[in-house]
Each structure stands twice: as C-alpha cells, then as structure tokens.
Structure 1
Amino acid sequence: MTLQFSVLASGSTGNAIYVESGDHSFLVDAGLSGKQMEGLFQKIGRDMRDLSGILVTHEHSDHIKGLGVAARKYKLPIYANEKTWNAMDNCIGEIPTEQKFVFGMETVKSFGSLDIESFGVSHDAAEPMFYVFHSGGKKLVLITDTGYVSDRMKGTIANADAYVFESNHDVQMLRMGRYPWNVKRRILSDVGHVSNEDAAIAMSEVAGENTKRIYLAHLSLDNNMKDLARMAVAQTLETRGIRIGEQFDLYDTDPRIPTALTAV
C-alpha cells in the first residue's frame, strides 16, 4: 500500500497534516478553522468527508482550533490520549460519545494495512504525543512541539523514510526579539520547541539509509525564516558529515500553503 502525506499547514498560527494509505486517511491535528481546512483539502484533491478520523497530538489551540467543528460536521472519530481529552474537553464543544476514542501513549493502532504508533514528546501540555505511520514497509514520522529529542524518542523514530520535523526558531532571533522574557524562556526550555541547530543534531542521529525526505515544520513566524532554517540545518548537518542532496533532501512547510501530496 502506498503511504502518502501532505503538511496542510504548519506554524504557530495553526497545524494540520494529512496522511493516507489504502482505504484509510487521517488528519493529524485541526488547528485552523473549518473553512480553512476545507480549502486546504481542496488544494490537495481530497475531501474531509472521506477521512477515517482525526488524531490529536495535544490540546494547544494551534492544534485543535477547528477540531470540534470538523468532527461534528463530518461525524469523524477523534483519537487522543486520556489526559489530552480532559485538557481539551472544554475547548472543542460537545463531541458525541461514539466519536471519542482513546489512543494511549506508546501504543499502536492498526487500520487495515496502516499501523499508527504513538510516542511521547517533551512539551508544556497535559500529555503531548506524536505519531509514526507504518505501511507497506514505509515509515513516516511526525515530530514537532518538543523541547528536545530524547534517546527514547530517537529509538522510536529512527531510520524513517520521511520526517516532518520541528525546526522552530533561530536562537539569536528569539533572544533579540520582541517576546517577553518568560515566553522566550518557555520556548528555549526542555518543554518548549527545538531550535534549528538542535533539530539538525537530532536529525543527524535518527536519519538512516531509508531516509529520503525531511520537512522542516512549525517554524516561528517571529523567530525564524524558511531560508534561515534550511541554511542552519544544512550547515549543522554538514559539520556532522551529512550533505543535503546526497543522503536526503530538505523541504519547506508553510502556515497557509499545503505541501504536495507525496508518497513516502
């Protein structure tokens, strides 16, 4: 079965990723309005009515803003762990019981030929977790919203064919920027977001012979730029013996423009 995905939107203004394999397709997070998400689906030639469900990573608004509306309109199952359900219950409106499913941390759920594995990350949410998709011998990893990448995470995500990997900020831009110090400290902490350089170090430690594509995701609008992120990641990888274009390629993501629907 072909495993395909599109990063519909990525950044502090809203996040949503589409993944499909065979008869099953999932939206990971719904951090934009229902109308925006419908428009993004149209751009990749897909329809939200055909979704098998929505997988939630954590309860921050840039990941669940449109979740309740989309679930009710299209009668979609929602999957999240118990602590995330409790944390977001008051934010997404009433969801019928038959649409609410618990997806525990560090577990695998199978949907036909598609296996979805959850793993914990380090972020200031109730119990944040991201997902690895396995199908037809291919492996796709989604990992953003983490202050660092632990050895446990690295073991789970190693040697994927494709990654959607957080590259949130340039440390100097963040330090010199307009954010109040308490916000800067949160972003720089172990429960914040990884910088361009830290992302690249983690990439160098998990990329393997299967790895062909890495998408730089969740870039800060205020403290990063696509060109800067790509350059910083490429430079750091090069110091660790990895040349972009030889082992794997880097790709941008955008807050408003979906990436092309791509086979892993």
Structure 2
Amino acid sequence: MTLQYSVLASGSTGNAIYIETNEKRILVDCGLSGKKMMGLLEHIDRRADHLDAILVTHEHSDHIKGLGAFARRHKLPIYANAKTWHSMSSLIGEIPLDQKFNFETGAVHTFGDIDIESFGVSHDAAEPMFFVFRHEGKKLSLLTDLGYVSDRIKGTVKHSDAYILEANHDIQMLMMGRYPWNVKRRILGDSGHISNEDAGLALTEILGNETKRVHLAHLSKDNNMKELARMSVQQKLEQYGVRAGDDLGLYDTDPAVPTRLSAI
C-alpha cells in the first residue's frame, strides 16, 4: 500500500495533518478542538479511534489547542521532544503516563511500516521540529513554522515525492498590513515564518525528479491569499527553469477544509 496523507487544516487558526500506511494511522499536531478534529477526519472518511499516535511539532496553540482532550478521549499516545513536553504541559492538562512518549529532535522512529525522522527548525518555540515520512521508497516531508530553510534542512528533505511546505505571507501585504511593527519583525525574522518567495526559492533547491506534489501550507489569513501564494511560488520556480504542471502539482491547503486523501 502507498503512503497516503491529508492536510486536515493549515493556518494560524489551527493545524493538523493525517498520515496513513497499511499498518499505521498518524496525526501530526492537533490544533483544533476535539469536535472539529473529528469532523475533519470524517471528511476524509477516517475516524479518531482508528489513530495510532499523535506527533507534536511544537507547543504553539495553533498546533496543540485540542491535543490534551482529544488524546485523553481516544487514549492516543503523544510523541514530542522533552522541551516541547515541558512547554506544553500546563496547556494540555494531565496526560496519563502510558500516553506520553519522547521523540527527540534528529531521531528516527519506526512505527510499523513507516520510518519517521524529526529535524529541528528555526522558530520562536522551545524546540520546534518537523518530520520526514518514509515508506516503501516513498518520501513525504512536512516543514512549516520556520524562519528560514537551512542547508541542513534542505539536505534532509531533498528529493521528496511530496512536500507540505510553508508559504506564510506575501512580504508586501505584510508590510502594508495592520500588524504592529514588532509582530511584522517577528514574522520576517529568522525564527518567524517564510514568505511565498522564500518557499519558491527553497523548492528550487530541494525538488527532485521524484517530486510530484507540493502543498502550500500555513498561509496567513491577513497577509496572503491562495492564488497569490501559488502564483508567487510558480514564478520563482520558472525563474529557475522549473515549470509546475502535469509532472509537478502545486496545491492549496485550507484552515477548515481538508485536502483530499492523496497517495504517493
């Protein structure tokens, strides 16, 4: 069976991603209420009580809002690194010991028939990390909430079959928008979020012949638009001789509507 995935929700209001193989069903982050999470899973014809684990990228509320209640209700194991556990403990409530597991940054864990590698990113959280999923020669890389894409990260995620990649903001919209300067400076900084142009430039260095799908994720509701993100990334790719089309698809994500369950 192929590796399947859906971006259940992506944006500043909540984030969650579903990963499935023949043996395992995994949720990455749980940034919406338990009720909304169940609805999102039902939208792709999946159920919360069939999940095997929840992986946590970092402790910001748009990634853990519903985590505690959802995991307790469905008795799901949670995997996070030590600093994230420490930072989110007061935010998610008491978690039974038999549901708490460490997944350290830079480690590789095998869950049944899928290998999952974590890698650190630059973001204003305790120890944020994202993931590469490998299954039967296929590779899916998830990277959002990062101030810049380092050479180390590029090496880790290079030549993936599919990417879920942040395209948070259009720089001009951000600079002309209503946010106070300190917030704009945070977003633009090395521990903030990457822009549409940053995303396109990173893609020119990590795409491989195997890459078929790129999902542009974590778009700001105030400082970006789906069409603008797609156009900006596509233009950057074309500057470097890469054309999105039949062989490489650029796809939207949404804060409230899951992407269809896709296979690689």
Q: What SS class does the counterpart of residue 227 from structure 1 fall into?
A: helix
Look up the match of 1:193: 193
Look up the match of 2:128: 128
Look up the match of 1:38: 38
Instruction: Point out where structure 1 has 5 or more consecutive residues left out of the alignment.
Output: none
Look up the match of 2:16: 16
Q: TM-score, normalised by structure 1?
A: 0.99
Residue 225 of structure 1 aligns with an amino acid whose one-letter code is: M
Equivalent residues, number: 264
1:107 and 2:101 are equivalent in the alignment: no
Residue 209 of structure 1 aligns with an amino acid whose one-letter code is: N
Look up the match of 1:241: 241
1:78 and 2:78 are equivalent in the alignment: yes
After superposition, give the CA deviation of every residue in 1:59-98 in whole Å (9 maximum; x if it has no partner). Answer: 0000000000111000000000000000000000000011
After superposition, give the CA deviation of every residue in 1:21-51 in whole Å (9 maximum; x if it has no partner). Answer: 1120110000000000000000000001011
1:184 and 2:218 are equivalent in the alignment: no
Q: Shift in Å at residue 246 of structure 1?
A: 5.0
Look up the match of 2:87: 87
Q: TM-score, normalised by structure 2?
A: 0.99
Residue 139 of structure 1 aligns with an amino acid whose one-letter code is: K
The root-mean-square deviation of aligned C-alpha atoms, in Å, is 0.6
How has the CA–CA distance of structure 1 residues 63 and 24 changed in structure 2, closer, same or farther, with 3 Å as cutoff?
Answer: same
Instruction: Point out where structure 2 has 5 or more consecutive residues left out of the alignment.
Output: none
Q: Shift in Å at residue 113 of structure 1?
A: 1.2
1:2 and 2:38 are equivalent in the alignment: no
The separation in 1 between residues aligned to 2:45 and 2:200, in whole angstroms, is 32
Q: Percent identity?
A: 66
Q: Shift in Å at residue 247 of structure 1?
A: 4.2
Q: Shift in Å at residue 2 of structure 1?
A: 1.3
Look up the match of 2:218: 218
Q: What SS class does the counterpart of residue 165 from structure 1 fall into?
A: strand
**Which 4+ runs in 1 deviate beyond 3 A?**
none
Q: What SS class does the counterpart of residue 233 from structure 1 fall into?
A: helix
Contact 1:209/1:247, CA 8 A, preserved across alignment: no
Q: What SS class does the counterpart of residue 134 from structure 2 fall into?
A: strand
